[in-house]
Chain A
Amino acid sequence: MITLIDLGLDPSLLIASLKKLTRFNQRIGATANAHAYVPIKDRMRFIEAMIAMVKGKME
């Protein structure tokens, strides 16, 4: 997020890309290693919180 914000890119694109990749892999059933990751909803919450915090610091 810091990279994206520093480069003037939209950090919320990370949420869109993670959702797309996760949905695709769920659709084909490639979810067996999903237990190795934090649930997608929690990742989204974390990313959103970090975006707000980093943007706040850089303003």
Chain B
Amino acid sequence: MRQGSVALKVTVIGYIMMTMSGATDREASSAASSGVRLMVRENGRLLVPVAVNGKKESRFLFDTGATTSVLSEKLAAKAGVTPKSMKRVSTFAGAVSLPVGQVDTVRIGDRSVIGIEVIVADLARLFNLDSDIDGILGQDVLSRFNYLLDRRKGKLEIEEGGNLSSSLSGNRVACEKRGGKTLVSVAGGQVNLMLDSGNPYLVVYDDAVSRLHATANVKDEKEVRSSIGSRKIRAFRIDSLQIGDSIKRNVEAYLATRSPGGSEDGFLPLFVFDSIYVNNLENFLIANPKRAWGGEKEGRLEESVGKKVYREFAEIENPSLDHYLRTIRPSEISADLRKQVIANLPREGELKPSAEDKARLSQLQPIFSYHDRAPIIEIRVIDVPQAFLGLHASFVLLIARNTMNLLTAEELQAAVAHEMGHSILGMSTRLRCETDGSVNCRSLSFNVMRLP
């Protein structure tokens, strides 16, 4: 699998298990939650913007498995953090001595922590992190807050009170704090896994696996390496993993020999959840929490938009639905504009449709005709990693190869009709590439950023 293979190359975040002393002061806070954009990398790693000592925000790995935060040597120099001493640090791959320095402020969203000791390290060499990552945000910061992390929405909400939990529903799973780590009980309390968002694997120690519903046939052995050392892990399958209301079936996991001194039975990465609420004040989590309608601002907004559109159409008298659509159809596109848009389309990543493609695409003609767009629609089949479908400039239909492969001819008709609806109703059809949160755009070999 793609995720697994990428993750193997960059594994060994180094589960930093050292507990360090640090001041616990914090800036004045409000009870409301603070929203932070969360970047989800293809290997499942989560990145957040963090400002150190008032400097410009840098990308940090969100790592609940690290008890101490880490700065890259480059960021430490920029932020004026000078290492003063050395500390022994335990990682999954072994122990190593690393320099530590003092940070005045660490800010995430509008939450700040004052005066903590951080490790300064070469993140790429020691922890196999990408070169654009400048730090690791560990439990010395994270455990001071409650947070709702939503991987699907790419959003992290942080709070210091308990307001978020009042708008969430779902079973509360008790957590235990040990040495800065958060341990989560699974399999009816038989196994305690350390919540570890920096880890791309679900790892279970050999002596704990019999307590899980696991398929024992170990199929594959791999070596996890970093400059600190190496360890062997062996792939296996967990038939059913239940955490609160969340049940995952046939979960890929890895076996490892128990680390000396560790109280956990393994490591629980966050990719097993779509979203998770962690309450560090009361020591519980909710896996995949549900949000009640109207329970918070966003919920109310979604409900009101949905209801507004529904009411708009519900109030139209039959048989004039079709007539109504015709009245709100966008005006014709001029020949000059059409020519200009086509000329500016990027060529890289464009694929030549096969005969089979052409046959399927021809079945879209009734959709285009219904919208009086048949003569002007241009179709481009493109090679991008994701299953993409979009209408550019109201007449260029971009269909990813993956979308063609995934959908039946009838499903493709339905999805294209949906896209045409965007154009008619004047809803946003622009590709959402404005922010760095849209990782897809950068990974598109068909460069949609260049679309005018």
Contacts and interface: CB of A to CB of B under 8 A. Distances in A.
A30 B439 contact: yes
A28 B386 contact: yes
Interface string B301-320: 01001100110011010110
A6 B313 CA distance: 15
Contact of A28 (B42, B152, B313): B42
Interface in B393-431: 402-403, 406-408, 410-415, 417-418, 420-421
Interface in B148-166: 150-155
Nearest to B318: A57
Interface string A7-23: 10111011011101100
Q: Chain A contact residues: over half helix, strand or loop, or mixed? A: helix
Contact of B3 (A24, A29, A39): A29
B42 A29 contact: yes
Interface residues of B, number: 57
Interface residues on A, range: 35 or more
Interface of A: 1-4, 6-7, 9-11, 13-14, 16-18, 20-21, 24-36, 38-39, 42, 45-46, 49-50, 53-54, 57-58
Given A20-B387, A25-B386, A30-B439, 19 more contacts: A1-B421, A10-B414, A13-B411, A16-B411, A17-B407, A17-B414, A17-B415, A18-B415, A20-B407, A21-B389, A21-B403, A24-B402, A24-B406, A25-B387, A28-B3, A29-B42, A42-B302, A45-B306, A53-B314
25 contacts: A2-B321, A2-B322, A3-B370, A3-B417, A6-B370, A9-B410, A17-B407, A18-B415, A20-B407, A21-B389, A21-B403, A24-B387, A28-B385, A29-B40, A29-B41, A31-B151, A32-B39, A32-B437, A33-B437, A34-B153, A35-B155, A39-B153, A49-B310, A57-B316, A57-B321
